Amino acid sequence: MILSFTVNGQSIDKIISVKEVTRIEKVLSADDMQGRRTFTPGIDKASAFIESEFRKTGLQTFMGAANFRQGFFMTESKATASKISIDGKIINNTQLVSFSYQPEVSLTEKSDIAVVKINKSDNIGQKFNEYYNSPKSLFVLVDPSFNSVLPNIQHISRVNANPGNNTIVFVFGTLEATTFSIDLTNTISKKALNNVVGVLPGKSKRNEFVIFSGHYDHLGVGSPEEGTPHTAVDSIYNGANDDAAGSTAVIMLANYFKKQNNNERTIIFTTFVAEELGGYGAKYFSKQLSPEKVIAMFNLEMIGTESKWGKNSAYITGYEKSDVGEILQKNLTGSAFTFYPDPYPEQQLFYRSDNATLAKLGVPAHTISTSKMDNEANYHSAHDEIETLDINNMTEIIKAIALSSATIISGKDTPSRIDAEQLKK
Ligand SMILES: [Zn+2]
């Protein structure tokens, strides 16, 4: 970058420095965070660290909250007993998976439950998602050719922010069921989790919000054999890029804008929990705001590696859906940095990330990333460690975000709204 601004006598290079980025990134991606899986001690540790950084920076809490934790609950269901029989024959428990948030379930072919099938010729992923998300009770019979995916489905955590009262049962290995009975016992509990949210109130436009976000959860600890031989990798999914990098950027930007001390609009800095479980943190956060007050949201997701265009570049999902990208790029005129439209539209990143909830409400909410989604070697692997990141480049990206968003922070630019009607439902 050839841009360099002086802020209260301190240049941006001093505030957003490789040293600071390294310090924060190192803590968040350290082995003692145990992969920051939601509902584990590791994520609490990560939360405590982010809170301490927000406190040190001098942010305020969100809407007068007692602290930086934005807590909420999810419901967990643990299957304690399952007994399913089809046409008089008892099904082995290794052949079935049930999803229900009712403590006791007792259903037969006479009950309000539909029998559906996943046939050999079906796309298992697509069909599974369709049935798994059904609001009605379903008894899903799956062709034996898909037996190999059963462990993956048994692995899905049974936690939900708003569980329905329906039951979905998958039985693998049979496609016929004239009569059946389903008896399930589940232990239901409430589990606490939290986003971390800090606020820098605007000087004059207090009720106009600009949001910087990332997610601080990741996948936890896997099995050792998932490490491949090229490094002495352990089984911890450190998530250095996904998304300790985005969380680091949020902390750095908070520090930068606090030191600037001239934001006319209110800036909200947040790191979300439970992104990897289905974006639950972002969904909860988004409901605590009136969307019309949110001027823009920058969600930062995996910015630790070089983009497909090399250094000093990143892409913006949903680039064409508002003029945020143009505003950012305009503010970088004369620099070596470029923001590109998302080059992986087929991957639907705009809809898959934590910006989606607010975008669907019309907010110019975009994700900024450098991740090569067709070829990111360490994506969702135990190799996603700090050594694989380009911290110098990541520091330049954070600076580019700080400088390019300046006119939105100051109130000079107001990005166009996203037309929610044009978005996929
Ligand atoms: Zn991520």
Which pLDDT does position 240 carry in this prediction? 94
Distance 295 CA to ligand 1 centre (A): 23
How many angstroms is it from 104 CA to the middle of ligand 1? 35
Q: How far is the CA of 176 from the centre of ligand 1 (A)?
A: 40
Q: How far is the CA of 410 from the centre of ligand 1 (A)?
A: 29
Q: What is the pLDDT of residue 233?
A: 66
Q: How far is the CA of 266 from the centre of ligand 1 (A)?
A: 25
Angle at 60 between CA 55 and CA 62, to 5 degrees: 120
State residue 183's pLDDT score: 97
Q: Ligand 1 centroid vs 146 CA: distance in angstroms? A: 28
| CA dist list (Å): 395 to 15, 360, 384 | 10, 30, 18
- Interval between CA 301 and ligand 1 midpoint (Å): 6
CA of 364 to the centre of ligand 1 (A): 20
pLDDT the model gives residue 228: 45
Give distance in angstroms: CA of 154 to centre of ligand 1. 23
Mean pLDDT, 10 residues at a time, over the chain (425 residues)? 52 94 97 93 97 98 96 95 95 94 96 96 94 95 94 86 93 94 96 97 97 96 54 79 96 97 97 93 95 97 94 95 96 93 92 93 96 86 90 96 96 95 80
In angstroms, what is the span from residue 276 Cα to ligand 1's centroid?
Answer: 7
**196 C-alpha to center of ligand 1: Å?**
16
Cα(168) to ligand 1 centroid in Å equals: 28
CA of 269 to the centre of ligand 1 (A): 17
Q: How far is the CA of 181 from the centre of ligand 1 (A)?
A: 40
CA of 238 to the centre of ligand 1 (A): 12
Distance 362 CA to ligand 1 centre (A): 23
* Identity of the amino acid at 297: M
- CA 51 to ligand 1 center in whole angstroms: 20
Q: What is the pLDDT of residue 230?
A: 41
Q: How far is the CA of 195 from the centre of ligand 1 (A)?
A: 15
How far does the centroid of ligand 1 lie from the alpha carbon of residue 190, in Å?
A: 25
Q: How far is the CA of 367 from the centre of ligand 1 (A)?
A: 11
pLDDT at position 3: 53
How close is the Cα of 369 to the center of ligand 1, in Å? 10
CA–CA gap between residue 238 and residue 259 (Å, rounded)? 30
Distance 12 CA to ligand 1 centre (A): 27
Distance 273 CA to ligand 1 centre (A): 11
CA of 245 to the centre of ligand 1 (A): 9
